[in-house]
Structure 1
Amino acid sequence: MTDRLDSTDFLPYGCHDITEADIECVVDVLKNQNITQGIIVPEFEAAISRYVRSRYCLVTTNATSSLHLACLALNVSKGDLVWTSPTTFVASANCARYCGAEVDFVDIDLTTGLMCLDKLEAKLELASKNSSLPDVVIPVHLAGTSVDMRRLHQLSLRFNFSIIEDASHAIGGSFEDSKVGSCKFSDISVFSFHPVKIITTGEGGAITTNRKDLYQKMLSLRSHGITKQVHEFAYQKPGNWYYEQQLLGFNYRLTDIQAALGLSQLRRLDDIIIERQKLRQNYIDLLSNVPVRYNQVPDNVASSNHLFIIQLIDSMERSLAHVFDQMRYFNIGVQQHYVPCHLHPYYRNLGFEVGDFPVAEKYSQISMSVPIYPGLTINDQNRVVHTLMDIVNN
């Protein structure tokens, strides 16, 4: 059996990668007159737009605030209905609840962990007959792998709903010939820059869209609903000091310090994605004799490989808790992605129950993420797989 190592040899499931160039960029901003609401945030936003080929981008405090702004921009409110995946972090559903809307879920495909579009279409057809169609659908690009956005867009045209892509895991990924975040098949896309994500700003998020009206509304809501633009004023300007709060907004602004780190990291995003692709392929090769399967990536998708999620199979399906605890015991930072949203107490109190979304529930009972991040070595990956094999065999 594998020997337990010192805690200093702990391998997290995800980890930020900060270079000297990143540090220099942050230090340079600290020497500027403005370390927030300066020139770096617009530079970062423009760079993201160029990368994903969207018309507009705004950065925010985190992906949760980005999702909230996206819902507000689409006028989600009390009486509206938003559907998302149950296999996601709770923010994908909470954003609709912040706006007073009702939430429902669409079960997943076990092979990918993504929202199952066959189940979505069937649910939409039933909802059409019951006059209970969603106003917004939020697909989640789990582990960096895009949902089939072309098909989802076709369904949105047929059933008249808006689309917010929760691409928190997926910057750098692609669907067909378009970067995730291009909004070719959606109204809005949202990214996360949390430290375990593909690139980081410490905490932070971004929103992309091709619609000017949505962009302008989110821009205002990001900063208290205040405008300083003379042509937007409702009342005559008494002096150059004047500004107006026109909406009930929030302080969801990113600092220039954070934007400098993000801008530096964005410059090497393609290299990060290449490294993550290699790490994924290493795992696939190493796991060939271990009784697990891993999330599949469709042929028309280039995943950012934010996570590498494995599923226990055969008799091991009943042993996730044991395998999980043993991997942690041997300093391998496995993680579950995720506890199904509808099974959290908050959502159970809204009426959801065990059995509502059986594939998502099964997925959570047999799957876990293993370490994947830039700087993870082949020796580290061998250690992960050999430890897993020893636990499974014993």
Structure 2
Amino acid sequence: MIQYGKQNISENDIQAVIDVLKSSHLTQGQAIEKFEQDLTKTCQSQYARVFSNATSALHCACLALDIQKNDSVWTSPISFVASANCALYCGAKIDFVDVDHLTGNICATALTEKLIAAKKINKLPKVLIVVHLAGHCCDMEAIYKLSKAYGFSIVEDASHAIGGTYKGKLIGSCQYSDITIFSFHPVKIITSGEGGAALTNSKSLATKLSLIRSHGVTQDPNLLTTKSEGPWYYQQILLGYNYRMTDIQAALGASQLEKLDEFVSQRNKLANRYHSLLRGSMFHPLTPYNDCLSAYHLYIVQNSYWCKNDKLRIFTQMREAGIQVHVHYIPIHLQPYYQNLGFKQGDFPNAERYYQESMTLPLHPALSEHQQNFIVKTLLELSEPGNNKTVHKTNKVTKK
């Protein structure tokens, strides 16, 4: 099976993990500090805090921004459910901003209209969680200007986007946001097995993130409410969680980070090759924002001509041919849990149109040109009008 995404592990990565396994600390050791320092240097932020996964990082970001019961948080309906769930964990009310169906990202025009309407009824969001789908950055400058005009904070869910840039600045620099979140799941740009990170330029937010990820406990003399009783002394000063990353994960993540530029360059090379192979067909890729260098976590194509049955048939036959196509994502507001909260089909029509038209093709640094040729050849043959072919893993196409 040609996987839609996969990790790329080198001997250096393996040795980095072995070194930690042979050390005195498997968790809460120096590997954590090194990985965080490497992230700040790479992404040009002031602070980085690593977590057990990106979901825990998103949850802590909401808590650090003081999201409480009945606060309002807005996000994109085109994302994995964690982008919205993190606000619900805090007791907040969640809502969505429709996307530009050609980019899959939050539409600045739709956001403006929703903010104007919300201000009239005094229901503005406290936080907006933007999602950089597939590694393509949102129009952050426009969104940032709206945040200043309407008084909300911004979290970038950049789970797909480490290594990408916006207007020449690296994603993670937090130039247009309060906190940026990365994911290090095995199918992402770099991996730590599982893991995530929150980057910020705010010292106070970094302090809160550190506390929340580790039970709300500290030994920092500047944070203690009374004088320390000795080297063993600690205090719990807020309610936190155990969202810590291990040193084993951090060592792998730091080693992978050294290859970030190489990985992003190869992903862009493969994406450009897909562009060329699909040019003139009925498929067109998601359109990155003009001032964005995408990290290309995913290569998503859209077809505005196929019906639901066509998509299902082609998806199934691509899988039968050994090509692990995928769909990113089912709109969050259409999930049963969110429909029970009151959302319904038709609420965000661009997101729903995007979902019907989109399919993810395999993309990862180890993808070969031969595999890429086979993927596109199979997709185009199966998509010919009136076609009902089965493509076998032998790469031969036969009529039923």
Aligned match of 1:88: 79
CA distance change for structure 1 residues 379 and 275 in 2, over 3 Å: closer, same or farther? Answer: same
What are the equivalent positions in structure 2 for 1:1-394 lying under 5 Å apart?
A: 10-315=1-306, 319-393=310-384, 394=387
SS in 1 for 2:131: coil
CA distance in 2, matches of 1:289, 1:388: 14
- Which residue identity lines up with residue 56 of structure 1 in the other structure? Y
Deviations 1:235-273 (A, max 9, x none): 343332211111110111111111111111101100111
Kept after mapping to 1: 8 A contact 2:51/2:197: yes
Kept after mapping to 1: 8 A contact 2:62/2:90: yes
Kept after mapping to 2: 8 A contact 1:318/1:366: no
- Which residue identity lines up with residue 295 of structure 1 in the other structure? L
SS in 2 for 1:363: helix
Kept after mapping to 2: 8 A contact 1:312/1:320: no
CA distance in 2, matches of 1:205, 1:79: 27
Unaligned runs of 5+ in 1: 1-9
CA distance in 2, matches of 1:78, 1:345: 22
TM norm structure 1: 0.96
Displacement after TM superposition at 1:122 (Å): 0.5
Q: CA RMSD in A?
A: 1.0
Deviations 1:173-217 (A, max 9, x none): 000021001000100000000000000000000000000111001
Displacement after TM superposition at 1:232 (Å): 2.0
Unaligned runs of 5+ in 2: 388-400
Displacement after TM superposition at 1:316 (Å): 5.2
CA distance in 2, matches of 1:227, 1:133: 34
Superposed structure 1 runs of 4+ greater than 2 Å apart? 235-240, 313-318
Displacement after TM superposition at 1:72 (Å): 0.1
CA distance in 1, matches of 2:349, 2:156: 23
Deviations 1:331-365 (A, max 9, x none): 11111100100010110000000000011111111
Give percent identity, aligned residues only. 49
Aligned match of 1:5: none
SS in 1 for 2:32: helix
SS in 2 for 1:139: strand
Kept after mapping to 1: 8 A contact 2:306/2:357: no
Number of aligned residue pairs: give it.
385
Displacement after TM superposition at 1:289 (Å): 4.0
Kept after mapping to 1: 8 A contact 2:267/2:296: yes
CA distance in 1, matches of 2:276, 2:33: 42
Q: Which sits farther off after the overlay, 305-314 or 316-325?
A: 316-325
Kept after mapping to 2: 8 A contact 1:146/1:175: yes
Aligned match of 1:7: none
Displacement after TM superposition at 1:160 (Å): 0.3
- Which residue identity lines up with residue 120 of structure 1 in the other structure? L
Displacement after TM superposition at 1:292 (Å): 1.0
- Which residue identity lines up with residue 124 of structure 1 in the other structure? L
